[in-house]
């Protein structure tokens, strides 16, 4: 990591390694660092979202009402196979 100078526009730097970052498979770099909070707020502030009464939670893949209820926001579903090991299918 290089030295950050006083007038550098970057005020926060997050280093990432390969360790698991959350308790659920829905956790990702954007949710863990809080970046996705800003994305949800930006979506909720659009005129279309405001006219429909959608809050920031509507744009979360962890919350009912915002997530896909088929895969519960995981992006894949488990496919149980009778005589073979289970598999995952993209939702």
Binding residues for Zn ion, per CB under 5 A? 68, 70-71, 91
Q: Considering beta carbons, is residue 29 or 91 the nearer one to Zn ion?
A: 91
Q: Considering beta carbons, is residue 4 or 91 the nearer one to Zn ion?
A: 91
| Sign of CA pseudo-dihedral 22, 25, 29, 34 | negative
- Which of 20, 30, 24 is closest to 62 using CA atoms? 24
Shortest distance, position 26 Cβ to Zn ion, whole Å: 11
Q: Considering beta carbons, is residue 33 or 76 the nearer one to Zn ion?
A: 76
Shortest distance, position 46 Cβ to Zn ion, whole Å: 23
Q: Do 55 and 44 meet the contact criterion of CB atoms below 8 Å apart? A: yes
The span from the CA of 61 to the CA of 54, in Å, is 14
Shortest distance, position 59 Cβ to Zn ion, whole Å: 15
């Amino acid at each position: 990591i290089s030295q950050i100078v006083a007038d550098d526009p970057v005020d926060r730097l997050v280093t990432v390694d390969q360790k698991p970052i959350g308790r659920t498979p829905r956790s990702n770099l954007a949710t863990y660092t809080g970046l996705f909070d800003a994305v949800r707020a930006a979506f909720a502030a659009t005129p279309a979202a405001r006219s429909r009464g959608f809050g920031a939670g509507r744009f979360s893949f962890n919350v009912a009402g915002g997530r896909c209820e088929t895969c519960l926001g995981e992006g894949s579903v488990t496919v149980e196979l009778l005589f073979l090991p289970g598999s995952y299918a993209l939702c």
